[in-house]
Amino acid sequence: MTQRSHASRLQGIAEISRAVMEKKYLEDILELIVQVTAKVTGSKICSLLLVDKALQELVLKAAKSESGSYNQKSPTPLGKGIAGRVALQNEPIKVLDVRKDPRFLNKKIAVDDGLVSLLSVPMSVEGEVIGVINCYTPVAYDFSEEDVHMLTAVAGQAAAVIKNTELRVMKEVVEKELEERKTVERAKEVLMDKKGIPARKAYELMRKQSMNTRTSMGKIAESILLAASFD
C-alpha cells in the first residue's frame, strides 16, 4: 500500500467515525459510508447490504452507482452468491472477474454495467455480521492483501457506526414510549378527578377517543392535559 492510500484509508475511517455524530438518520449514514468508501477505494460501484435476520437475506440499502439495474437488484439469500457467502462465513472474498465466476448471481448486471473485479467484505461488530460492503472495478484488478485490510477496516468502522445508530434509535423509541405512558397516566388522573370515575373507566374513555379519531393515546393525553391547564 502506498503512503497516499494509507492516508486515504485513515481519512475514510475518520469521516465514517464523524458520521455517527453529524448524521441523525441511518439512511444518511449509509449513503455517506458508500460515498466515502467509493472515494477511498476508487471503485466504480460501491454498495452496502444489511442482513435481514427475519428473512435470512442481504438487502441493498445504499449504493454509489449510476446504474438503475444495480440499484434495483433483488435481495441475496445468506450463503448464496458472493455477498451471501461473505455474510455467512464472516470472511472477505475477492473475485478477479465476476462475469466468469459461477458463484456470482448477477452476471447480466455485471455485463451491462461493465463490472469486472469485486472485493466483498463483511461488516461485523463483536463477531456478529450485520452486513456486507461490495466494491467493483471496471477492469480486471487483483486486489492485494493491503486492499483487503483497508476495506475491512473501513467496513468495521462502518459497522460500529451503524450499530451505534441502531442502538441510539432504539433508546429514543423506548424513551418516547416511556414518556407517552407517563403522559397517559397524568391525563387519566385528570379524567378521574374531573369526572369522578375509576382509573379503568378513564383509560377506556381515552382509548375509545384514540380509536374513533385514529389518534395516538399520547396525543389524546396531551390534549386532555392542555385543556385541563385552562380550567
What is the secondary structure of 2-65 as a DSSP string? Answer: -HHHHHHHHHHHHHHHHHHHH--SHHHHHHHHHHHHHHHHT-SEEEEEEEETTTTEEEEEEEE-
The whole-number average pLDDT for the span 190-215 is 88
Length of the chain: 231
pLDDT tens digits for range 176-191: 888 888 888 898 888 8
> Among 15-19, 33-37, 63-67, 158-162, which is the least confidently predicted range?
15-19
Choose between 68 and 82: higher pLDDT: 82
Nearest to 9 by CA among 36, 47, 29: 36
* CATH 1.10.10.10 boundaries in the chain: 172-229
The whole-number average pLDDT for the span 215-224 is 87
* Domain topology for 172-229: Arc Repressor Mutant, subunit A (1.10.10)
- Report residue 3's pLDDT band, with 50, 70 and 90 as the boundaries: very low
The whole-number average pLDDT for the span 95-102 is 94
* CATH 3.30.450.40 boundaries in the chain: 3-169
Query: In the chain, what are the helix, strand and coil shares in percent, each to the nearest 5?
Result: 60, 15, 25
Superfamily of domain 3-169: GAF domain (3.30.450.40)
- Report residue 139's pLDDT band, with 50, 70 and 90 as the boundaries: very high
pLDDT tens digits for range 22-37: 656 778 888 888 888 8
Average predicted confidence (pLDDT) for the chain: 84
> Among 15-19, 29-33, 57-61, 141-145, which is the least confidently predicted range?
15-19
Counts for the chain of helices (H) and strands (E), in that order: 8, 6
The whole-number average pLDDT for the span 145-161 is 86
Q: What is d(CA 209, CA 13) in angstroms, rounded to the nearest whole number?
A: 51
Q: What is d(CA 138, CA 195) in angstroms, rounded to the nearest whole number?
A: 73
- The strand pair at 76-77 and 128-137 is best described as unpaired
Please state the pTM of the whole predicted model.
0.69
- Report residue 80's pLDDT band, with 50, 70 and 90 as the boundaries: very high
- Report residue 86's pLDDT band, with 50, 70 and 90 as the boundaries: very high
- Structure confidence at residue 88 (pLDDT): 94
Q: Is residue 230 scored above 80 in pLDDT? A: no
Contacts of 113 (CB under 8 A, 6+ apart): 44, 45, 65, 67, 69, 70
Which helix (H) or strand (E) segment is 144 a member of? none
Q: Is residue 9 scored above 90 in pLDDT? A: no
- Structure confidence at residue 2 (pLDDT): 39
